[in-house]
Amino acid sequence: MLKRISALVLAGATALTLAACGGGAGPAAGGGDGALVMGFAQVGAESGWRTANTKSVQESAKSAGVELKFSDAQQKQENQIKAIRSYIQQKVDVIAFSPVVESGWDTVLKEAKDANIPVILTDRAVDSEDTSLYKTFLGSDFVEEGRKAGQWLVEEYKDAKDPVNIVELQGTTGSAPANDRKAGFAEVIAADPKFTVVASQSGDFTRAKGKEVMEAFLKSNPDIDVLYAHNDDMGLGAIEAIEGAGKVPGKDIKIITVDAVRDGMQALADGKINYIVECSPLLGPQLMDLAKKVVKGEQVPARVVTEETTFTQEQAKQALPTRQY
Amino acid sequence: MNAVARHRLFWPAVTLAGLLLLNLVFTDHFFSVQMKDGHLYGSLVDIVRFGAPLILVATGMTLVIATGGIDLSVGSVVAISGALACLRISELGDQGSVGGVLAAVGVALALSLALGAWNGFLVAGAGIQPIIATLILMVAGRGLAQLVTDGQIITVNSAPYKLIGGGYWLTLPFGIVVVAAVLALTVFLTRRLALGLLIESVGGNAEASRLAGVRARGLIVTVYAFCALCAGVAGLMISSNVSSADGNNAGLWIELDAILAVVIGGTSLAGGRFSLGGTVLGALIIQTLTTTIYSIGVPPETTLLFKALVVTLVCLVQSPAFGRKAFHRRARPASPRPAPDEKVKVTA
């Protein structure tokens, strides 16, 4: 609650800045001849990931010739509902939004449906029985991310005979990325009994907690071969703990993380992380493609997974100079 | 024996010992402390090292609570201080320059002091209730920290800055040295000089102390400023430990842990008396509990429940009213020991 309020203060400032920018860009965009108009209701600006997400949507709208009406919900569902209603009144061609919460969208989505405006969900899903209320859901598949991490591990240790001891740093307990990344990873490594997760604790997705938990792991488990962290930041904290224990991260203990933010990619390029599964906020171009198809009335799949890749140390060195976030 | 059991630090000490005993049984090598790369290394060292920021924040909190106040804003001050220091260091041409790092640390601590003085002014000058006065900064402060960091995580690569929270000095973690120094100073000021007595008298009855010639206002402002300064140093430690500042998460909910540490240590929330030793014990209990959870492998889904159980237990054994009731009920039907002995224990 309090975190939300403080984010609100920040989001308010961001909204002001955005409004100022929008004023300047308005006439240019309005000059389009029958260009596609998209209303986009963003969650807020709570993290670097989200900021990159917003930027991606705005930039790809510009390059795809889509007129974007952008609103920032400041983490509040009622703001998002208000924004969607105003998009309906303005008769935009398509509405896209990242739902703040999962439930409570049926009424406003029905209004959009009655007005014949297609809706695309991005990044987060809604929990509604009526799937005709939206055309498609574009976002990451967290379970698949966990699987990719597991597959690299299986490949890396395919010739090893000895048991492989894995420690896991989970994300915030109960959050969808934490649950799904754990499940996907567990599913893949279950195929071979030589892989055992000897310890698994929550590091709350933060560096400080990642370091603290890893320190404890290192002391209670003398033989750790692999660390699997649900995001880069916890992995970065753990690297410090491993170095403090006199071991070499990336060599003595192999490290796999998820996200591929800049600092993580840097550590990967430096050889301290071995493998990163990307969770990309840059879904703007895919969103614009989908929007155009939906407006033309073409069929689109109900679930579109964000185009995401994985990075080895070599790939990180190449990708790093052009990394946007 | 009874005198020992009645000492107000008896139960906190028993709890801490109990937690350590739990580790002795469940975790191998928990008590082994080795030398590694020229510094001490082991679970016990970790407890003190990761507990250092909490001990600091709780020390400041103890004095604030002794005046009958409370400071909810320490978590935000932790975030602001770390964020500002990291921002200044990241702007340095040479991040390894000692002068630049000292300047950054100085600016961060000066801002912390100012924020604390602001809290003190709201409480003592404007007469706003402490919980509300500090709530303002708790909420706005985190927004401020996010503004400083621009909502991103600032990573620095500075050896001198790293020393504060992650470095070692004479084989000891540097953070522990800082905490020991601050504690020694605080104990000297409050227990060797009259300051502690004055703080307690303000906490007991601010108006009466003022009439008795104690400058209550100045004292309250000083205490809040000191509390924020402690939080500022803790913020430097936390961000230095991971060489980065995270405006969203640094020091999140540390105010609650600090208040808990103070209360476990036997300081009354009503103000008027305090125990710095108890606070240190309380903070160590909380950190040992956290480390225990990681070491013995309590599943993350049940971590909070486990913590809640231990804390409830600690609070119950410390409550005189509960003690009387529990002993009476259990002692009568199935007491293995003779009744008189039991009675002496209860009524004493």
What is the per-residue DSSP string for B49-115? HHHHHHHHHHHHHHHHHHTT---TTHHHHHHHHHHHHHHHHHH-SSTT-HHHHHHHHHHHHHHHHHH
**CA–CA min distance B219, chain A (Å):** 30
Which residue numbers of B have CB closer than 8 Å to A's CBs?
A: 27-30, 36-37, 41-43, 46, 50, 138-143, 146-147, 151-153, 155, 166, 238, 241-244, 246, 248-250, 252, 290-291, 293-297, 300-301, 303
Contact: A263, B152; criterion CB under 8 Å: no
| Per-residue pLDDT, B304 | 85
**CA–CA min distance B147, chain A (Å):** 7
Test mutation, A2, A46, A74, chain B, max B CBs within 10 A: A2
For B242, which of A51, A173, A211 is closest by C-beta distance? A211
For B151, which of A45, A237, A240 is closest by C-beta distance? A45
Low-confidence ranges of chain A (pLDDT < 70): 1-34, 45-48
The share of chain B scoring above pLDDT 70, in percent, equals 94
**Rounded (10°) angle between helices B98-120 and B74-91:** 150
pLDDT(B286) > 90? yes
**CA–CA min distance B141, chain A (Å):** 8
From CA B115, how far away is CA B108, in angstroms rounded?
A: 11
Nearest to B40 by CA among B168, B216, B202: B168
Q: Please write the tens of the pLDDT for every residue from B113-124.
A: 999 999 999 999
Structural domains for chain A: 2-19+35-140+281-307 (3.40.50.2300), 142-279 (3.40.50.2300)
Residue with structure tokens 């601050």?
A: B182
Contact: A212, B244; criterion CB under 8 Å: no
**CA–CA min distance B157, chain A (Å):** 12
When pLDDT is cut at 50, 70 and 90, the band that residue B340 belongs to is very low
For A207, which of B30, B42, B244 is closest by C-beta distance? B244
Q: What is the CATH T-level fold of the domain B12-297, as seen in this structure?
A: ABC transporter involved in vitamin B12 uptake, BtuC (1.10.3470)
| Per-residue pLDDT, A262 | 86
| Per-residue pLDDT, A23 | 38
Complex confidence, ipTM: 0.85
Instruction: Identify each DSSP E strand in chain B by its residue range.
Output: 34-36, 39-41, 153-155, 168-169, 172-173, 244-246
**CA–CA min distance B152, chain A (Å):** 5
Task: Please tell me which residue of chain B has the smallest CA distance to A10.
Answer: B143
CA A175 remoteness from chain centre = 13
Task: Please tell me which residue of chain B has the smallest CA distance to A9.
Answer: B143
| Per-residue pLDDT, A45 | 67
For A208, which of B238, B290, B295 is closest by C-beta distance? B238
Contact: A215, B296; criterion CB under 8 Å: no
Contact: A202, B143; criterion CB under 8 Å: no
Token representation of residue B1: 């024996």
| Per-residue pLDDT, A31 | 38
| Per-residue pLDDT, B133 | 95
| Per-residue pLDDT, A4 | 58
Sign of the four-CA dihedral A59, A60, A61, A66:
positive
A6-20, B271-285, B309-323: which is most confident: B271-285
Test mutation, A167, A205, A215, chain B, max B CBs within 10 A: A215
- The b-or-e profile of B77-105 (16+ CB within 10 A means b, else e) is bbbbbbbbbbbbbbebeebeeeebbeebb
Instruction: Identify each DSSP E strand in chain A by its residue range.
Output: 37-42, 67-72, 94-97, 119-122, 136-139, 164-170, 195-202, 226-229, 254-259, 275-278, 303-305, 310-312
Contacts of B47 in chain A (CB under 8 A): none
Q: How far, CA to CA in Å, does B290 sit from each of B47, B243, B300, B313?
A: 9, 22, 11, 16
Contacts of B28 in chain A (CB under 8 A): 220
pLDDT(B184) > 90? yes
**CA–CA min distance A210, chain B (Å):** 10
**CA–CA min distance B170, chain A (Å):** 16
| Per-residue pLDDT, A321 | 86
Contact: B243, A240; criterion CB under 8 Å: yes
| Per-residue pLDDT, A273 | 96
The model carries a pTM of 0.81
| Per-residue pLDDT, A7 | 57
Contact: A7, B143; criterion CB under 8 Å: yes
Token representation of residue B18: 């109990």
Contacts of A220 in chain B (CB under 8 A): 27-28, 30, 43, 294-297
Q: Please write the tens of the pLDDT for every residue from B211-234.
A: 999 999 999 999 999 999 999 999
Q: Please write the tens of the pLDDT for every residue from B79-100.
A: 999 999 999 999 998 888 999 9
| Per-residue pLDDT, A67 | 94
| Per-residue pLDDT, A162 | 92
pLDDT(B267) > 80? yes
pLDDT(B105) > 50? yes
